Amino acid sequence: MIRLFKFLIRISSFLRKELTEIFRQPKLILTLVLGPFLIMFLFGLASPSQGRTLRTTFVVTDPNSFRQEIDSFSRSFSTVLVDYVIETDKEKALAALANAQTDMVIVVPYVPLETIQNNQQAEFLIYHNEIDPFQVGYIHSVAQVYIEEINRQFLQSVVELEQGNSASLQTDMETALVKMEALRKAVPAGDANTAKQAADLEKVLTDLHEKLTAFRTLASDIMVKPFSAKVSGLSAVQLTVIGFFSPAVIVLLLQHFSITFASLSIVREARSGIMELFKVSPLTAFETLAGKYISYLFFEILLAGVITVLAVWLLKIPILGQLQDYALAVVVLLFTSLGVGFLISLISETDTQAVQYSMLLLLASIFFSGFFLDLRLMKEPITFLAWSLPATYGIRMLQDIMLRGSSVPQLVFLGIACMGIVLFLIDWALLRKKMSS
């Protein structure tokens, strides 16, 4: 009994100690509980309530010929097709698509009626510049729905037209019948007009025959689906899901490594007491920070090299753009991520807190950087949060360079570079304060 009692007392010693230690870190508990909850809450706010809208450019040979149809059609598709413009120059429209000024280009067939009458489907060419397989699938779906709607509208107009035509057909038939009766009566009298009536009748009947022949020779599948759509992407490669997500995974890994290493760096030194030695020495905050940046950058660049080689060799992920652009994008991503890591290190009081902040940042990056949810689908205020994460810029840059073959997107590069410099300055100021207090 005493043994059991002592056993319980020994266990209780840890119970008390562990709980006391945990509750002595209210900030840690707060971030543990509220952090993920806040991220999920914001993600809920960011998620779109409807499908993605597509800025559309229609390419037609004559802007006046189809304007009415395009207007009416776009109105009925206003939840998907937005900010549509009509363009006559296909190349100009495709250039706008490549520059992300429009999301979809629809090239309207040149002479659709003649094509259909020749028993061929009139083909709409639909272009996009998506690399995300899910977005490509979305464009295909939109194209499918779009073309079905055109076919439906076309069939409706043909039926209405033919209903109009059938009235004249009925008149023609009645005329033919009257003439037939007159012909029947005149035949015995040997009337001179008989020959003319017979000729008229013959003409009416011939017309009817021709119309019937034309109707019967029209292919049934063309009649039902007179229009078709061919969807093409501007990207040179057909990407798999793994291929598409690889740049984003590389970015998230590099950001996370950088932040984790850097976030533990200064907080450990502050806890160990060596900071006191730094304060007495001639070492400045700038020298300390610069030394840390350079060493971690060196290590992270090596790491990035290994990850890239593995991605290219093992996963066959293409790098369509220039290698130097890729390297530049990676370096600026690492520089900025290190800035975030050092900031965490400077505001954290313990290692645990620093690791917790790093994990929260990884979680936020997965949800808000465009890795999980396309930035174009995110609601406006939350995109500010997205653009405050280095990963958002990194994913954008690496996708453009690796998968589209573009050069470094200048605005995005400028954004992340500015962020990195601002973070360096903040870290410097905080470290100066830490080393002088």
Partner 1 sequence: MKNDDPAVNVVEAHDLTKSFGEDIAVQSLTMEVPRGTIFGFVGPSGCGKTTTVRLLTGIFKPTSGTLSVLGKSPADFSKADREKIGYLIQQFVLYPDLTVWENLNFTASFYGVGLFRGKRLKHLLDFVELSGDKNKLARDLSGGMKRRLSLAATLVHNPELIFLDEPTAGIDPILRQKFWDYFKEIQTQGHTLFITTQYVGEAAFCDRVGVMYGGKLLMIETPDGLRKKAYGGDVVGIRTNEEISFEHRRQLEALPFVRGKVKIISDQEVEVTVDDASTAVTVLLEWTQAQKLTVVMMEQKSPPFDDVFVRIIEKEIAND
What residues line the site for partner 1 (CB under 8 A)?
272-274, 276-284, 287
Cα 244 from chain centre: 11
Here the tokens at position 176 are 């033919």
| Cβ proximity of 222 and 116 under 8 Å | yes
| Cβ proximity of 391 and 308 under 8 Å | no
Quote the least distance from Cβ 237 to partner 1, whole Å: 45
Question: Which residues 6+ apart lie within 8 Å of 425 measured at CB?
Answer: none
**Between 94 and 262, whose beta carbon lies closer to partner 1?**
262
| Cβ proximity of 328 and 3 under 8 Å | no
**Between 331 and 435, whose beta carbon lies closer to partner 1?**
435
**Between 43 and 278, whose beta carbon lies closer to partner 1?**
278
For the chain, the maximum distance between any two Cα atoms, rounded to a whole number of angstroms, is 140
Quote the least distance from Cβ 284 to partner 1, whole Å: 8
Quote the least distance from Cβ 430 to partner 1, whole Å: 18
**408 by DSSP, 3-state: which?**
coil
**Between 55 and 432, whose beta carbon lies closer to partner 1?**
432
Place of tokens 């990195």: 420
**Between 17 and 279, whose beta carbon lies closer to partner 1?**
279
**Between 188 and 282, whose beta carbon lies closer to partner 1?**
282
Distance spanning both ends of the chain, measured CA to CA = 56
Quote the least distance from Cβ 294 to partner 1, whole Å: 13
Quote the least distance from Cβ 264 to partner 1, whole Å: 12
Residues 278, 12: Cα–Cα separation, whole Å: 41
**Between 167 and 280, whose beta carbon lies closer to partner 1?**
280
| Cβ proximity of 74 and 45 under 8 Å | no
Quote the least distance from Cβ 7 to partner 1, whole Å: 34
| Cβ proximity of 73 and 46 under 8 Å | no
Residues 425, 16: Cα–Cα separation, whole Å: 43
Q: For residue 46, give the amino acid letter.
A: A
Quote the least distance from Cβ 295 to partner 1, whole Å: 12
b/e sequence 332-353, b meaning 16+ C-beta within 10 Å: bbbbbbbbbbbbbbbebeeeeb
